[in-house]
């Protein structure tokens, strides 16, 4: 298995997904600027080593809430969308400022379910990604919550950007998807409730047992999407030819460790399917 981990060193096109809980201070609900700065620095360093990097970032609603002094999570859909509109602009402003400090340009790419379902728009967004990466730009991706209600209503569409990050990986033919979560990887059960739960180092094949395991553990606090959304993301990534690793986002150096071949997180091996249809797992 160590040989499998060493192959990660050779990955050239990488998608990194980070959730809201990894970007915000838990005590105040405000942006953790030192952590965001470290994330940006790591991404730029990876890019400087000759690799392409795309960042899929949650956090728009949380940042918007903090900006208007809203302490509780908004109940109404319209207020959530308003928070997303405010927060997305502020979050992107922070990203662009920090990337600029490392002589790198960041670009905002907002997607909805319709972007993926429509053949023309899916090709267009793929062309945009490829052109940005050619230009040495780091695309920062999020679901367009101010107009799309899929994610913020918690319908299983993109699943708190887990599925979206896998879709992006498929569209751009990424080699590796790194999901930064609030646990170390996948377990046989929820480790917060069952101390006997065993850690899964490598998943060679995503079978029905694993899918059901993800559903059973989706009640844990592994982001809004839960573990079930991460298993679906792994299905999309694997079928698209992208390896995927779930690791703990509390320590951003885990990204560097993964790319150095260190055995951390749960690695889902890719099995590219010639008949894979992305729409089967989006619609």
One DSSP character per residue, the chain reads -HHHHHGGGG--EEEEEE-HHHHB-TTT-SB-HHHHHHHHHHHHHHHHTT-EEEEEE--HHHHHHHHTT--SPP-SHHHHHHHHHHHHHHHHHHHHHHHHHTT--EEEEEE-HHHHHSHHHHHHHHHHHHHHHHTT-EEEEEE-TTT--TTTTT-TTTTTTHHHHHHHHHHTT-SEEEEEESSSSEESS-TTT-TTPPEE-EES---HHHHHHHHHTTTSSSTTTHHHHHHHHHHHHHHHT-EEEEEETTSTHHHHHHHTT---SEEE-----TT--GGGGT-
Q: 174-195 pLDDT, tens per residue?
A: 999 999 988 899 988 878 788 8
* Share of residues in the chain with pLDDT > 70 (%): 86
pLDDT at residue 271 above 60?
A: yes
Please report the pLDDT score of residue 223 as a whole number: 37
Count of structural domains, the chain: 1
Which domain covers residue 18, as residue numbers?
A: 2-281
pLDDT at residue 10 above 90?
A: yes
User: For the whole model, what pTM was predicted?
Assistant: 0.90
CATH of the domain at 157: 3.40.1160.10
Mean pLDDT of 85-89: 93
pLDDT at residue 220 above 60?
A: no
Please report the pLDDT score of residue 212 as a whole number: 75
Mean pLDDT of 251-277: 90
Mean pLDDT of 98-127: 93
């Amino acid at each position: 298995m160590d040989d499998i981990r060493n192959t990660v060193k050779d990955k050239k096109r990488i998608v990194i997904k980070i959730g809201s809980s990894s970007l915000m201070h838990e005590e105040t609900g405000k942006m953790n600027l030192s952590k965001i700065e470290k994330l940006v620095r790591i991404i730029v360093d990876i890019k400087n080593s000759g690799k392409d990097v795309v960042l899929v970032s949650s956090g728009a609603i949380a940042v918007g809430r903090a900006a208007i002094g809203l302490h509780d999570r908004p109940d109404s859909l319209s207020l959530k969308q308003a928070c997303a509109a405010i927060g997305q602009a502020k979050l992107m402003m922070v990203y662009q400022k920090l990337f600029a400090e490392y002589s790198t340009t960041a670009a905002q790419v907002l997607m909805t379910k319709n972007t993926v379902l429509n053949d023309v728009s899916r090709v267009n967004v793929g062309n945009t990604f490829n052109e940005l990466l050619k230009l040495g730009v780091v695309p920062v991706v999020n679901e367009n919550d101010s107009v799309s209600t899929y994610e913020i209503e918690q319908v299983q569409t993109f699943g708190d950007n887990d599925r979206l990050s896998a879709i992006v990986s498929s569209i751009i033919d990424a080699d590796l998807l790194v999901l930064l979560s609030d646990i170390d990887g996948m377990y046989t059960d929820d480790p917060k409730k069952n101390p006997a739960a065993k850690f899964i180092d490598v998943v060679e094949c995503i079978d029905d047992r694993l899918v059901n395991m993800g559903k059973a553990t989706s009640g844990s606090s592994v982001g809004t999407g839960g573990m079930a959304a991460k298993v679906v993301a792994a299905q999309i990534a694997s079928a698209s030819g992208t390896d995927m690793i779930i690791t703990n986002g509390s320590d951003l150096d885990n990204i560097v460790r993964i790319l150095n071949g260190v055995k951390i997180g749960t690695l889902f091996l890719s099995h590219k399917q010639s008949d894979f249809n992305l729409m089967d797992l989006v619609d």
